[in-house]
Amino acid sequence: MNEKRAIHIQMKWKIILSLLLILLAGCEFDKGLDVLKSRISGEVVFLGTESRPDNIDEVRVVAVANFPPSGLADVFFSEAIPFDRDTAKYEILLPLGDYPAVGVLWKPRGKDWAFTSLLGFYGFEPPASASLQPVTLTENEPIATDIDLFALWELARLDAEISGTVTFQGELPENTDTVLLAAFTGIPDLNNVISLLGILGGLPLPVPLNNISPGATYEFQLPVRSGGYKYLAAFWVAKGGFETIQLLGFLPDPQDPDKPRAFTLPADSVLSGLDFIADFEMVK
């Protein structure tokens, strides 16, 4: 009798278990992550191939979710694109959202990605226009095609060099992110950060912060493009981004120290003795 009861109980369990398994098999399970359907794509048109530097490691298209970007988290990179031709197709997978800037960056061999290594951006159509065009991906329009970009190799050509010293005055503010030296082909408007990129003579040079103290002199060597320059200056950037970029001092004209000195650099030339003062008292 007990044996019969035990068999009966076992049967009951087996039936319950089978039913549970059937129930499980019939369930629709959440699969979690899936492929990303939203993206931007287009073509990069390289201009001025003769100016292309030899030390290029990679070229990628980036989309930034905040402009100016406050860090890596704001930036989405495409795969590396071929740069030994006139045009290259690209695609960046992106979550839905607003992307105020899409640009082409190049990375010099042996150096890291830097947001200043810009070759062009969406809305930059030399020589006609240079205003940032945003891209927006929505539920209804998750794919943006034909986001074509012009990339100007001229912006990467660094065939001349300037050198000199910067003497610092005043105390380095605590909220300093970086101190930069940069040469411009025009007079920069610090209220319009994006406009600076169009007149930059080369990559800005960050000054190591531990080299900065009142009265300290920093010797610099700055690779730039050959051509005419109107402004060489030191800038202060506060933590939190480029909105707070401020002038510390510029290379003065020896005839009129209140005005910046202009100079011209032939290809493969080195201009030295460019000495000026950077004063942290100018930081507001």
Binding residues vs another protein (CB under 8 A): 10, 13-14, 17, 29-36, 65, 68-74, 76, 79, 93, 95, 97, 110-116, 175, 177-178, 180, 204, 206, 237, 239-242
- Cβ closer to another protein: 116 or 185? 116
Amino acid sitting at position 281 = E
Rg (C-alpha) for the chain, rounded Å, is 28
Smallest gap, in angstroms, from Cβ of residue 9 to another protein? Answer: 9
| Cβ-based nearer residue to another protein, 33 or 128 | 33
Taking the least distance from each CB to another protein, the nearer of 155 and 265 is: 155
Q: How far is the CB of 72 from another protein (least distance, A)?
A: 6
Cβ distance to another protein smaller for residue 31 or 284: 31
Asked if 219 contacts 163 with a C-beta cutoff of 8 angstroms, the reply is yes
CA nearest to 221, candidates 163, 157, 160: 163
* Phi, psi of 253, deg, nearest 5: -75, 125
Give 15's contacts (C-beta < 8 A, 6+ positions apart): none
Token pair belonging to 228: 């005419």
Closer to another protein at the Cβ: 51 or 244?
244
As measured in angstroms, the least distance from the Cβ of 55 to another protein is 13
Q: Tell the smallest beta-carbon distance from residue 68 to another protein (Å).
A: 7
> Minimum Å distance from CB 172 to another protein?
15
Smallest distance from another protein to CB 110, Å: 5
Give 97 or 214: the residue with its C-beta nearer to another protein. 97
DSSP 3-state of 37 = coil
Q: What would the DSSP string read from start to end of 229-252?
A: E-EEEEEEEETT-GGG-EEEEE-B
Q: Which two tokens stand for residue 273?
A: 């003795």
Give 29's DSSP letter.
P
Note whether 132 and 101 are within 8 A (CB). Answer: yes
